[in-house]
Structure 1
Amino acid sequence: MFKYIKAWFIISIVSLSYAQAEPLAYYFPEEPAYRSNIPTPESTLGFEVGSRHVRHDQLVNYFQQLARVSDNVLLKEIGTTNEHRKQVIATISSKTNLENLDQILADRANNKKQDSDAPAVVWLGYSIHGNEISGANASMLVAYYLAAAKTSQATELLDNLVIVIEPSLNPDGMDRFTTWVNTNRSKTLNTDPNHRSHRLQWPSGRTNHYMFDLNRDWLPLTQIESQNRMRNFHIYKPNVLADFHEMGKDGTYFFQPGVPSRTNPLTPAKNIELTKLFSTYHAKALDTDNRLYYSEESFDDFYYGKGSTYPDINGAIGILFEQASSRGYAQESINGVLTFGYGVKNQVMTSFSTLNAAFQNKAQLHKFRDDFYKENLKLADKEDFKGYLITENNDSRRLNSFLGLLKQHQINVYGLTKNYEDDDGYYPKESSYFVPLQQDQYRLIKTIFSKVTSFKNNTFYDVSGWTLPLAYNLQTQEIKSLRRLNIATAPWQPKSESTPTPTVTSYAYAFSWDHYLAPKMLNSILEQGVQARVATKSFKQMVGQKLITFNPGSIVIPAEIQTQTDWFEILTKVQQDLAIELTPLATGLTVEGINLGSPSLKPLKPVDILLLGGKGVSQYEAGHMLNYLDNQLSIAVTVVDLHRLDSIDFSRYSHVIMVNGEYSSISDRASKKLKTWLEQGGNIYAQKKAIQWLSSKELLEAEYISKNRINRLFDTNGISYAEKDALAAKKRIAGAIYNTQIDNTHPLTYGYKGETLPVFKNSTLIMEKPSKPFMMVAQFTDSPLLSGYSAEEIQETVGNNAAIIAHNVGKGRIVASSENLVFRGYWYGTSKIVANALFFSQTFSSK
């Protein structure tokens, strides 16, 4: 290896004759001496890197072979994906460093100051998007060189760095993609961009099992892959994290810094300076081989939920790399024929330019990390408040999920030992927690809790607002003084929830709909034949010596109507598993409100759900819905591609779910079948563009603000061409949090106590306020923006218009939301509306 990876890179985009096989010498032209006992990728795979797309099992097997024979490689399994593929990281360093790895990591724990001679930690993360596969293939070459090359440069890197290689950040998506490409590969390579091997169908390999974009999940941590990674990120606490991606075929090669004005203001200036310094190493490496690249354009460094930005708020340097993608093996581009091997080689080059930059600037990295955490404490001390108080009195699961998320991010939270009350609210000690600013993760706390609506640059690559307490619909407030606040001395720790379980049968049982997993409990008992009813009006009942109020939405299980002899055992087993309080009711005569034989207790039926998917439907929103229903609530969902709807018998389904997408491909025959099914008692839940399609078919009674009307909101007189991008940024909502006023008497809002509900909005689809009464479920407030960016003209237009409406269609019901209520799996606050649309759709009538 060489100081700047010099003479290797002498081949640009190559002809097809070279695309079929890329020997080791292509990637390492200087051909250094290698240790003979270290297996090459080719000797393990049976083919040369770049000649085929490696499967995940082959990738893991190669790293296993390296770890088996090399003193410089340790392999750790960090978890298992939803499809039971192993997540692994390889730690590569000198033999001495690996023998002392526990001590090295212990010295980094609690963000301790590092000695100048201590090794820096560099994390190389490859292919978090499974169809951006050049990175995963490059990881084998990087690992082989580090383990096998007999060069002074390799020795210096191993002595001075602890290198963590995560060869595939998305194993499930990777195999979905590689299977497609290898299946559709022709013997004679086809460079036509229209060829099947370049165009994976729905869902793409970009996403994981639940069709989530894992590169948006570093902050919300909803997916198992992200949770497994985060545990180890905070064990290694890297100084640098390199994040290897691909972009469109007509690009070249991008490395950060991104657009200077689109860096999050919480990121220290020194971070930007070091990122810029590292970019000179990448440029020099690519210059040596005359390869095209660019920086400080297109991509930003704003949202901390991405792999290249999360390190920036954790005392490290995150660096995004984007390689033009061949997708298959060779594809025509504006720069000539782009081969897979060419892309792999670029990722190898910048992997080593990153390692070289880290080695040569190790002292700066250590100092930056030390200064980062010292400055955090100083900044916290300058704030005019001490921290955030959180409470949620009715739903322990939603609250504990949020506290668990903070813990995963190394944020300390403390319970109250006494009740707290001030002019802004009452905080019971049993359900209230304090997050002090004065801790190492000050900046991360600020980005999680702050409501920011003003920005230096209004153009965003991803979301502009992610205030997580709003997503969880939690009550929070800033605490100015600790004088009257009594908090525990030890940080909060998760513990298993438990509630008493009835041991003998009673007249009836009831449980509240407030708990986040109440829909899971209801679905489970209904699926197993237990009969249940929902109270549409409140009642009060004496339980022992205590008078308990049961609000609308409470689920009642009367003993008399049960048809299964083991219904009580089923009920209590589910209750034990979910730790939801189950209250025995000794009589049907209540103290106040409806009695238990009242017609206001509506029968509930098991749900049978059809989710429309396939080409045209957003794989992300379909995945968000599947994650909520399948992964969180254990509700079975049938996914059917749009092109199959002609042959589907809708009568077997109780509900159809339509997420954002283009539905124009649905045939007239299928549309008529859907309409007939709906009129005969079916139920539809739809969101975003799906609701426009339903309106076009005269199924949904809704009108929308036109694009022309939105365009007319902005004065373009005298505007210059240079202002084109700025105008486009004003016309879009790049992910912001809006406030809504909810009708908390409506069955679709069962389980909600407040009158307002924050929602996530990331499109300018605006549904007008309906003219008919009893259709409105949620309406945007007059000044709706809570967090993130939206132009004032857009805010005013959204204000007072509809967010969620619902109405009858014959015997059926239709529920329409202009927003994604289960966005990216972390919008716990709005997701129950979806469950309510499933279980309570026949309990309301807009007529």
Structure 2
Amino acid sequence: MLLNLIKALLLTWLVSSAFVQAEPLEYFFPENGTYRSTIPTPESVLGFNVGDRHVRHDQLISYFQQLAAASDNVVLKEIGLSNEHRKQVIATISSVKNLENLEQILADRRTNTKQEEGAPAVIWLGYSIHGNEISGANASILVAYQLAAAINNDINRLLDNLIIVIEPSMNPDGMDRFTTYANGNRNKSYNNDPNHREHQFQWPSGRTNHYMFDLNRDWLPLTQIESRNRVRNFHHYKPNVLADFHEMGKDSSYFFQPGVPSRNNPLTPAKNIELTELFANYHAKALDSDNRLYYSKEGFDDFYYGKGSTYPDINGSVGILFEQASSRGYVQHSDNGDVTLAFGVKNHLLTSFSTLTAALENKQKLHQFRHDFYAGINKLAGKEDYAGYLINEDHDSQRLRDFLTLLDRHQIESYPLTKTYRGEHQNYDQGSSYFIPLKQQQYRLIKTIFERVTTFKDNTFYDVSGWTLPLAYNIKSVRVETSRGLSVSTSPWQPTGIAVASPTTAAYAYAFSWDNYNAPKMLNTLLNQGIVAKVATKGFSLNQGEQQQGFAAGSIVIPQGLQTSSNWLETLTNIQKDNAIELVAINTGLSIKGVDIGSPSLRPLKPIKAMMIAGHGVSQYEAGHMLYYLDDTLGIPLSVIDTFRLSTVDFSAYTHIIMVDGEYKNMPDGTSKKLKTWIEAGGTIYAQKGATRYLAARNLLNASFTSKNEINRLFNSANLTYENKADLAAQKRIAGTIFSTNIDLSHPLTYGYHDKKLPVFKNSTVIIEQPSKPFVTVARYDSEPLLSGYAAPEMTDKVAGNAAIIAHNVGNGRVIASTNNLVFRGYWQGTSKIVANALFFSKAFSVSTEDQ
């Protein structure tokens, strides 16, 4: 079957009244075959041949639209819009009979995993989730054309037995950022010089989406709209196989999974790996047929479940990664000769069809695997020594709601407690506590989301090693041995609207708690709408009618007497409704405990005008994470300014400067002097990871760091052999691990926190040694800090007891430094509020590092 299909795939057009001639397709289809003349060729729609130019996203969508309009075998569905309002689409291709019954077939798959032998298998082909890995998106055109237009029995068998889902561009915004650059910087004559501008892309690259997120790391966190749209449809189709098409460095050849055997996640069933290996034989035959180089079982792993080739593995599917050596532009010289765009497209074309052929010829094995995957869940869950997890968050209903929403998007059921449960260490109250039972279809996904794993078969990771999501959200989570004794709802939690009471008459003042995750967003909107607000740096209590009400430090107070607008109450009410945060009316300025409303301990707040230094030498990912948090979450219009422009920028126009991880080697002469003058005049710098080293080297941050030599001395390498090289390098890294810190709850940078234990995500070896000066340290690593993920004992011990976050004065300004990315990939809600506090409350503290 495979060899016959390859021959059918490699076709040209016959010249006759019934068929159209298109010689340029010969490179992809070199053997004779027949096609439906009613189906548009790629050239007839695009105006050029695939591989001749980089296809823009609008051209890609146009081709699929015309293909669907012309073919009864293609249904095109718009699944959403990207941040830049480009369409996300999937094309479902199958026989007319299957498409007529598509929704019933999919409904049966969702409710019954035992598929009959005649039932079609569902295969999802996903292309170019990294926008600059463009050969996949181009290949999708040819795959769809072949399936819709070719007239032969092999194609008919595919259509009869498979439902093929093609996602032609998994990253529309990144795709167009790349294609615009590549098309705009190409020569008329192809240039294979890697140094040519065509191959050297500007910052940020087309790899990422609008917010500079790596979408191939977002299948589990689901912070980005593209990922949410995709995963929603993934669960609608429940594919048997998901093929994930990428590109890699130009000097490689072609990779297909399986990856490194020792780096498979132990939650992935052995049968999944067996099927991946079975499919690999088909890929090898397809590539052998055209004498193409390839490899597998090296370099890549199947450990982190947040990628396109691994998320399917924990959802009853088989995820398969494909990596093509990249031309980036049109042709680039490599160790294997010139690699062209067309060459890469053809490789992905061949393995797209080898995937379909393998699925066809092993359809029943795929059905059986999916059935067994789910049928054995209750038995597996029953073997565990616990029944599920209890989660609780008493103070921040929005952060809890966001976590429950994430579970729901992954089809994990959470059940509200209907009565308080008295646990061993705390009470779990109704309204803020939920039970997640293991015995449900997503048993394995629940395990990977909730478990803290610190021991591993292999300590080398392609991506993060720790992603325990309750820790990321700073949600309390404990195992429950038995559900007996728990009073829970019979219906799982479902997202619903939130309504809060709004003021109808003007009070002496209004206040709201800083606990809610959306409180910084609400405050930012208030300040920008002219509402005058203050932050309480000390707690206070007031008589409210017949009851006493306390307000913690960090509470936001809005006194009526300071408002200058006649419609301030209407403005306040509208903003409160948008954010669904309770406002408390205060009828007197005199407290019964703590400070009064007119106290200088209530510090005035000002609107934020922030800039972030960006460009080459700065992590586009961390810049994107910060931009997403400030822009999308808080509504702060962050100004992103490239390093080369800093010499012409007036820093005094900004209240805050943000510096994420980077080397900052491209900073213009005089930048450090400008920064010093600006911060001494009252500005605030927030810096993380590599940026902290930059500031310390220029005496803007009072900190000492663990050196690379000190880390090297932690490990005895005297008797190691060459084969130990990779393992030693892995031990010296901290590549995505969760550590525990102790935070100073009295510090303004921790307003909104109630537990001194705060999990943080660490993926670098930037270690600030514990300062000797008092009051400088905001967060400090525990003495035994490892919570989840891999870190060598030597590295864990080195991190232990040292500073995670420090802050101090520089003249009239402030510098705040973190050794970690507190807004990592948009889902670390547990630490992101410290960034908000650094923006709004930087002048609420004062710490000198000068000798007294």
Q: Shorter-chain TM-score category?
A: over 0.9
Q: Secondary structure at the match of 1:723?
A: helix
- Match of 2:658? 657
Q: 1:318-467 counterparts in 2 under 5 A? A: 318-467=319-468
* Aligned residues of 2:11 and 2:33 also touching (Cα < 8 A): no
Please state how far the C-alpha of 1:826 moved relative to its aligned partner: 0.2
* Aligned residues of 2:8 and 2:33 also touching (Cα < 8 A): no
- Match of 2:557? 556
- Match of 2:725? 724
Superimposed CA distance per residue, residues 677-725 of structure 1 (whole angstroms, 9 cap, x where no aligned partner) = 0001010000000000000000000000000010010111211111111
Q: Secondary structure at the match of 2:844?
A: coil
Q: Which amino acid aligns with 1:719?
A: L
Please state how far the C-alpha of 1:7 moved relative to its aligned partner: 8.3
Please state how far the C-alpha of 1:497 moved relative to its aligned partner: 1.1
Distance in 2 separating the partners of 1:694 and 1:668: 15
Distance in 2 separating the partners of 1:592 and 1:255: 67
- Match of 2:491? 490
* Aligned residues of 1:22 and 1:49 also touching (Cα < 8 A): no
Superimposed CA distance per residue, residues 627-667 of structure 1 (whole angstroms, 9 cap, x where no aligned partner) = 00001111110010001110010001000000001112213
Distance in 1 separating the partners of 2:100 and 2:9: 33
Superimposed CA distance per residue, residues 3-32 of structure 1 (whole angstroms, 9 cap, x where no aligned partner) = 451587799xxxxxxxxx992121111131
Q: Secondary structure at the match of 2:787?
A: strand
Q: Which amino acid aligns with 1:556?
A: V
* Aligned residues of 1:138 and 1:348 also touching (Cα < 8 A): yes
- Match of 2:173? 172
* Aligned residues of 1:8 and 1:289 also touching (Cα < 8 A): no
Runs of 4+ that moved beyond 4 A: 6-11
Distance in 1 separating the partners of 2:31 and 2:270: 38
Distance in 2 separating the partners of 1:196 and 1:263: 39
- Match of 2:212? 211
Distance in 2 separating the partners of 1:116 and 1:720: 53
- Match of 2:534? 533
Q: Which amino acid aligns with 2:85?
A: H
- Match of 2:639? 638
Distance in 1 separating the partners of 2:426 and 2:29: 65
Distance in 1 separating the partners of 2:813 and 2:666: 24
Distance in 1 separating the partners of 2:834 and 2:172: 32
Q: Which amino acid aligns with 1:585?
A: I
Q: Which amino acid aligns with 2:614?
A: G
Please state how far the C-alpha of 1:671 moved relative to its aligned partner: 1.4
Q: Which amino acid aligns with 2:40?
A: P
* Aligned residues of 1:22 and 1:50 also touching (Cα < 8 A): no
Closer/same/farther in 2, CA of residues 4 and 299 from structure 1, 3 Å limit? farther
Provide the identity percentage: 66
- Match of 1:282? 283
- Match of 2:244? 243
- Match of 1:667? 668
RMSD: 1.2
Q: 1:290-309 counterparts in 2 under 5 A? A: 290-309=291-310
Please state how far the C-alpha of 1:200 moved relative to its aligned partner: 1.3
- Match of 1:542? 543
Please state how far the C-alpha of 1:423 moved relative to its aligned partner: 1.3
- Match of 2:585? 584
Q: 1:305-320 counterparts in 2 under 5 A? A: 305-320=306-321
* Aligned residues of 2:786 and 2:796 also touching (Cα < 8 A): yes
Please state how far the C-alpha of 1:376 moved relative to its aligned partner: 1.9
* Aligned residues of 1:111 and 1:373 also touching (Cα < 8 A): no
* Aligned residues of 1:10 and 1:289 also touching (Cα < 8 A): no
Q: Which amino acid aligns with 2:360?
A: F
- Match of 1:37? 38
Distance in 1 separating the partners of 2:734 and 2:379: 35
Report whether the alignment pairs 1:768 with 2:795. no
* Aligned residues of 2:11 and 2:26 also touching (Cα < 8 A): no
- Match of 1:199? 200
Superimposed CA distance per residue, residues 415-468 of structure 1 (whole angstroms, 9 cap, x where no aligned partner) = 011111121211111111000000110000000000000000000000000000
- Match of 2:16? none
Q: Which amino acid aligns with 1:424?
A: H
* Aligned residues of 2:616 and 2:666 also touching (Cα < 8 A): no
Q: Which amino acid aligns with 1:400?
A: R
- Match of 2:789? 788
Q: Secondary structure at the match of 1:370?
A: helix
Closer/same/farther in 2, CA of residues 7 and 79 from structure 1, 3 Å limit? closer
* Aligned residues of 1:770 and 1:802 also touching (Cα < 8 A): yes
Q: Which amino acid aligns with 1:490?
A: S
Q: Secondary structure at the match of 2:163?
A: strand
Please state how far the C-alpha of 1:545 moved relative to its aligned partner: 3.0
Q: Which amino acid aligns with 1:330?
A: V
- Match of 2:710? 709
Distance in 1 separating the partners of 2:543 and 2:113: 57
Q: Which amino acid aligns with 1:366?
A: H
Distance in 2 separating the partners of 1:827 and 1:635: 18
Distance in 2 separating the partners of 1:595 and 1:679: 32
Report whether the alignment pairs 1:696 with 2:697. yes
Distance in 2 separating the partners of 1:163 and 1:736: 38
Q: Which amino acid aligns with 2:227?
A: S
Closer/same/farther in 2, CA of residues 22 and 491 from structure 1, 3 Å limit? farther
Q: Secondary structure at the match of 1:23?
A: helix
Q: Secondary structure at the match of 2:31?
A: coil
Q: Which amino acid aligns with 2:776?
A: M
Q: Secondary structure at the match of 2:797?
A: helix
Q: Which amino acid aligns with 1:353?
A: S
- Match of 1:223? 224
Superimposed CA distance per residue, residues 296-342 of structure 1 (whole angstroms, 9 cap, x where no aligned partner) = 00000000000000000000000000000000011111111111100
Superimposed CA distance per residue, residues 336-384 of structure 1 (whole angstroms, 9 cap, x where no aligned partner) = 1111100000000000000000000000000000000012221101111
Distance in 1 separating the partners of 2:116 and 2:401: 38
- Match of 2:113? 112
Q: Secondary structure at the match of 2:843?
A: coil
Q: Secondary structure at the match of 1:598?
A: coil
- Match of 2:514? 513
- Match of 2:57? 56
Distance in 2 separating the partners of 1:376 and 1:138: 38
Please state how far the C-alpha of 1:739 moved relative to its aligned partner: 0.4
* Aligned residues of 1:10 and 1:288 also touching (Cα < 8 A): no
Q: Secondary structure at the match of 1:295?
A: coil
Q: Which amino acid aligns with 1:778?
A: A
Please state how far the C-alpha of 1:569 moved relative to its aligned partner: 1.1
Please state how far the C-alpha of 1:131 moved relative to its aligned partner: 0.1
Superimposed CA distance per residue, residues 77-129 of structure 1 (whole angstroms, 9 cap, x where no aligned partner) = 00000000000000000000000001100110135311111000000000000
Distance in 2 separating the partners of 1:681 and 1:216: 38
Q: Secondary structure at the match of 2:504?
A: coil
* Aligned residues of 1:25 and 1:31 also touching (Cα < 8 A): no
Q: Secondary structure at the match of 1:540?
A: strand
Q: Secondary structure at the match of 1:626?
A: helix
- State the TM-score, normalizing by the size of structure 2: 0.97
- Match of 2:826? 825
Q: Secondary structure at the match of 1:97?
A: helix
- Listed as ranges, the gaps of 5+ residues in structure 1 are 12-20
Moved more, 23-32 or 321-330: 23-32
Distance in 2 separating the partners of 1:635 and 1:69: 46
* Aligned residues of 1:190 and 1:331 also touching (Cα < 8 A): yes
* Aligned residues of 1:172 and 1:208 also touching (Cα < 8 A): yes
Q: Secondary structure at the match of 1:5?
A: helix
Superimposed CA distance per residue, residues 774-824 of structure 1 (whole angstroms, 9 cap, x where no aligned partner) = 100000000100000000000000000000000000000000000000000
- Match of 1:24? 25
Superimposed CA distance per residue, residues 446-492 of structure 1 (whole angstroms, 9 cap, x where no aligned partner) = 00000000000000000000000000000111111222100000110
Q: Which amino acid aligns with 2:816?
A: V
- Match of 1:74? 75
